[in-house]
Amino acid sequence: MYQRKKRRPVAEINVVPYIDVMLVLLIIFMATAPLITHGVKVDLPKMTESDLVDTKDAPPIIASIDAQGKYYVSVGTDPEAPMEALDVAAVIKLQLMKNPDVPVMIKGSGKVSYQEVLLLMDFLKSAGVPSVGLMTESFEGTK
């Protein structure tokens, strides 16, 4: 009688396709890695005069922060007197109650920390300011 050979199932995994895929991915990552930037040095923009804020009806309310972190508002009894951030938000809230269409701008010194500007923006948001603009320097100087 004819005896049949017993075949065992092969328990090996063919790894050649996996190696091919791995090498393709390695080449892709090596080619794209130099294109990825982890951080960018950012300088505040300088712009020419812009028509983004129409100030024909009323001048904008300007909240300023100087290099020492003191806050000022362009409206009120004494615009040159330093104020606390909560007082700035209160003054601007009163002005917006009188005229809600007045634009609000933030003018920050280049030496003030970004955290101070964010803090002022947070106080203005809690005071009900719908949006704020950030002032920049002009290429051609002030007109």
**Three-state SS for 108?**
strand
> pTM of the entire structure?
0.54
Q: What DSSP letter does each residue of 115-134 carry, written as one string?
A: HHHHHHHHHHHHTT---EEE
**Three-state SS for 19?**
helix
CATH number, span 49-136 = 3.30.420.270
> What pLDDT does residue 24 have?
96
Backbone angles phi and psi of 105, in degrees to 5: -120, 150
**Domain segments of the chain as ranges:** 49-136
Averaged pLDDT, 92-100: 87
> What pLDDT does residue 27 have?
95
The rounded mean pLDDT for the chain is: 78
> What pLDDT does residue 30 have?
92
